Amino acid sequence: MTTINEMKDALKETLESRGVLSQLRARIRAEIFNALNEDPEDKPKLSMENMIINDLIREYMEYNHYSQTTSVFSSEAGMPQEMLDRGFITKKLKIVEDNNSKQTPLLYGLVFGMKKVINNQEVQNEPLTGPKYRNVYPESGQVVESNNEFEFQGGRRNISDQIFK
């Protein structure tokens, strides 16, 4: 009996050290999610905009070795196995890459590029255009924009519209 238990422990340790066990767990979670949500009417077809956004997120997660999260996210979002071509995404988003930026996810470049633009505008004392905050009221679908974070009562603030304050 001891040899069987030792063999099980050694096998488990080997699979964990290679990352296989965590991948299997993630795959099982994704398959369970798929089994529970098999109704195709539940998920609308992804728009090209959503596919690009999802692939930016997926590329970021894969780069950072979030394999379990990536597996569940891809499954839940109804994404195809194959990612969109990076060249296609850069063309659609009008991103110009150099050798350094090709080594990192596009999402990093977008965030750092926006930060640079915002910092540049602030240095030149130019006001940032547009409101800083957007509040979405789910009941009515009303969208209210403001430069004041504390102006909203209830609803949900859309943080993606204001990455940098």
Cβ-Cβ contacts under 8 Å for 148 (sequence gap 6 or more): 133
Question: What does the pLDDT read at residue 60?
Answer: 94
Could you read off the pLDDT of 32-43 as tens digits, one per residue?
A: 877 776 665 556
Amino acid at 56: L
Query: 73-100, pLDDT tens digit by residue?
Result: 888 888 888 899 999 999 999 888 888 8
- What's the rounded mean pLDDT across residues 17-40? 77
More reliable by pLDDT, 138 or 28: 28
Would you say 134 and 156 are in contact if contact means Cβ atoms under 8 Å apart?
no
User: Hey, what amino acid is at 139?
Assistant: E
Cα 15 from Cα 22, distance rounded (Å) = 8
* Top-confidence residue, 68 or 60: 60
Whether the pLDDT of residue 14 is over 80: the answer is yes
Residue 43: per-residue pLDDT: 65
d(CA 150, CA 148): 6
- For the chain, what is the HEC assignment? CHHHHHHHHHHHHHHHHCCHHHHHHHHHHHHHHHHHCCCHHHCCCCCHHHHHHHHHHHHHHHHCCCHHHHHHHHHHHCCCCCCCCHHHHHHHHCCCCCCCHHHCCHHHHHHHHHHHHHHHHHHCCCCCCCCCEEEEECCCCEEEEECCHHHCCCCEECHHHCCCC
What's the CA gap between 68 and 28, in Å, rounded?
Answer: 10
